[in-house]
Amino acid sequence: MTVEEFEEFYAQAAGRLTGQLYVMLGDHHEAQDVVQEAFVKGWGRRRQLDVEGRPEAWIRTVAWRLAVSRWRVRRRTADAWERTAPAAYVPGPGPEAVALVEALRHLPLKQRRTLALHYLCDLTVEQIAAETSLSASTVKTHLTRGRATLSRHLQDPRIEEAPDA
């Protein structure tokens, strides 16, 4: 089939094949997509289509197979989504958590790490020293300075400090 013959075949058969696939699939847009894709595949095989003598049947069969393949992909995707449990509702962070994260940002990295290891991981000063290659006295210094900095940043501005008596 020459380029001109294929173009003429496309002009004559595309609408008819789209209608046929629409009846088979029940989805007009899907029918249009698979027929177009089948014609693209047919373009590369236009010489063989001429030899076979039934190019319309070939395009229709390819379009049908493409639609079935799409169904399988959609089904596998839907099955995968069904197998995964929906994520449980997790409320957003409260104002206290937001304030704490903001206050932690004001700490130097080593102090922040030391506080996290001590308060979140429940490590002792000696365990932190071993993990961070710091001396125990440096770990204690980081903890003391980090707590002091956090205290300043976490003070409630609505509460006025009591004047010295």
Q: Where are the alpha helices (DSSP H) in 26-165?
A: 28-44, 46-52, 55-83, 95-104, 109-115, 125-132, 136-153
Asked if residues 63 and 37 have their Cβ atoms less than 8 Å apart, the reply is yes
For residues 32 and 15, give the distance between their C-alpha atoms in angstroms, rounded to a whole number.
9
Asked if residues 64 and 70 have their Cβ atoms less than 8 Å apart, the reply is no
| pLDDT at position 113 | 87
| pLDDT at position 160 | 60
Q: Record the pTM.
A: 0.48
| pLDDT at position 164 | 58
| pLDDT at position 47 | 80
| pLDDT at position 153 | 85
- Rounded to the nearest 10 degrees, the angle between the axes of helix 28-44 and helix 3-25 is 150
Mean pLDDT (10-residue bins), the chain, 165 residues? 89 92 86 94 84 82 91 81 75 85 86 88 91 93 93 75 57
| pLDDT at position 121 | 83
